[in-house]
Structure 1
Amino acid sequence: MNSIYKGHLGETPFDIRLLAMEHLAIIQQLQTIVYNALPDQSVLQPLSQEEFEYILHGNGLMIGAFVGEDLIAFRALLEPEIDDEHLGRDCGVEESLLPLVLYQEISNVSPDYRGFGLQKTLAKVIMDQVDVERFDYICATVKPFNIPSLKDKFSQGMMVAALKLKYGGKLRYVFFKKITEEVLSFNESYKVLMSDTPMQQRLLKEGWLGVQMFLENDEWIVEYKRMK
């Protein structure tokens, strides 16, 4: 399989390739390793075999990082069905534009290769593969206090558009970003504790967007801004 990116993790060379159905078994093996190593398994919603197959059969895109022939990380984008749970609606995307929305799905990195910024590298590489003629928006969900995933989304310029119950009653931030970069002008800023769900939901209802997070006095803060 041809590489679409090559680099080094410290002294270790690696390459990134497009994944296909032939990789399904090693994808699932890595997901199991990553899931079992998590101190809080509720932060990761593992994908089922059917969900992986759906993506690999042309309803999205998956890339994997390899050291030699060993899969050490993967990342997925999903072209979602237009259903009642569609994230585009949570982000204010018009009904007619919902087919232009992609989801950032699962991202797994082997515990043996953490600390090299691999998740960020995979994010950049997979977004470079997106057909901007077909898609305009990226959406994703993240559990509050899943700090690595929240940092991952904010570092890509994604913004919080909603904080609500998804997936049968699980509280999630809903992130979005327009794929073609747009410069937004903000004139108001408000900082709120990540733990203060009602206040964040009120701000989001009033048109504020979550733009970054930071640690202050051992508490995670989310900064919200409102456009002019």
Structure 2
Amino acid sequence: MKLLHEGTITNQVLHKKLPFSMERLYLEDLPVIEQVQQKVIESLPEKATLQALSTEEFLFILNERGLLVGAFVEEELIGFRALLIPEIDEEHLGWDIGLPPEELHKVIYQEISVVLPAYRGNRLQQKLAEVIMKELPNLEEEFRYVCCTVAPMNIPSLKDKFTQAMHIAALKEKYAGLKRYILVKDLKVPDVHYTDHMTVKMDHLEKQQELLNEGYVGIGFQLVHGFHELQFAKPVL
């Protein structure tokens, strides 16, 4: 088992710092992966904010169609993050962000990222993101675009993606009619500059859609009168 990262983490229930490590997950880890996902789902006040993966989707990733990295305290899996090499079909996120057909095979998805409640508040999702993205070049195929979907109003997940320099490129109906932001990062253009900054209320999806149609992208948050508003701007091409 290849050690990818190690450090210390605080158990928020025990108020105790503990050593933890990160390793790649494999087929034999599937039962515990699904147990952790289920525990996280049960802890959420709003279940729809997390697009859980099915057993078939986990198997797809673990059978060399992606990458799963897990965080462990002693022998206990406390969180994990997934990358998925998607099939090219009509639901492919590349279509949603306007990629031409010949670029679709260069897209990889950031899929589910979960952390057990006792270990939240440690920036573990962000650390998992850093580690799994460092592992990305070790996959056989080469990728240029990292895409994902996030539910509107899911501030923790949006913060996680903005921290990785991903931006909202589209707002679409996915997963049988659920509204989702489509976020993307172009790995070949790491430093993007923006102009025409403005903020929009989190729940004003119609205005956000107008701006996206006009060439704006969502790039972060701004606190306005104590409330988060989404920050939009136009990329300087």
Cα-to-partner distance string for 1:63-110 (whole Å, 9 max, x where unaligned)? 000111110000000000001111111112221010000000000101
State yes or no: 1:88 paired with 2:94.
yes
The one of 175, 184, 192 aligned to 1:176: 184
**CA distance in structure 1 between the partners assigned to 2:212 and 2:95 by the alignment:** 14
Q: 8 Å contact 2:219–2:232 — kept in the other structure?
A: yes
Q: Residue 66 of structure 2 corresponds to which residue in structure 1?
A: 60
* Aligned-residue CA RMSD (Å): 1.3
Percent identity of the aligned residues?
Answer: 45
**TM-score (normalised: structure 2):** 0.93
Of 131, 135, 138 in structure 1, the residue corresponding to residue 143 of structure 2 is 135
In the alignment, the residues of structure 1 paired with residue 193 and residue 223 of structure 2 have an alpha-carbon distance, to the nearest angstrom, of 25
1:37 has 2:43 as partner: yes
Partner of 1:72: 78
Q: Secondary structure at the match of 2:86?
A: coil
- What do the CA deviations read for 1:156-200 (whole angstroms, capped 9, x no partner)? 000000011111100011100012343223221121111111111
Deviation digits for residues 99-123 of structure 1 (CA, Å, limit 9, x no counterpart): 0000000001011111111001000
Taking the TM superposition and a 5 Å limit, the aligned residue runs for 1:5-24 are 5-10=5-10, 11-24=17-30
Partner amino acid for 2:219?
Answer: V
* Offset from partner CA, 1:30-50 (integer Å, 9 cap, x none): 011000011111101111111
Given the two structures, how large is their TM-score scaled by the length of structure 1? 0.96
| Contact 2:148-2:182 at 8 Å conserved across structures | yes
Q: Aligned partners of 1:182 and 1:105: how far apart in 2?
A: 21
Q: Which runs of 5+ in 2 are unaligned?
A: 11-16
Q: Which moved more, 1:6-15 or 1:27-36?
A: 6-15
Segments of structure 1 that go 5 or more residues without pairing to the other structure are none
* 1:69-218 alignment, distance < 5 Å: 69-131=75-137, 134-218=142-226
| CA distance in 1: counterparts of 2:39 and 2:202, whole angstroms | 29
Runs of 4+ residues deviating >6 angstroms: none
Kindly indicate whether residue 2 of structure 2 is the aligned counterpart of residue 2 of structure 1: yes
Aligned length: 228
Instruction: Describe the SS at the equivalent of 1:130.
Output: helix
Q: Single out whichever of 125-134 and 50-59 deviates more from structure 2.
A: 125-134
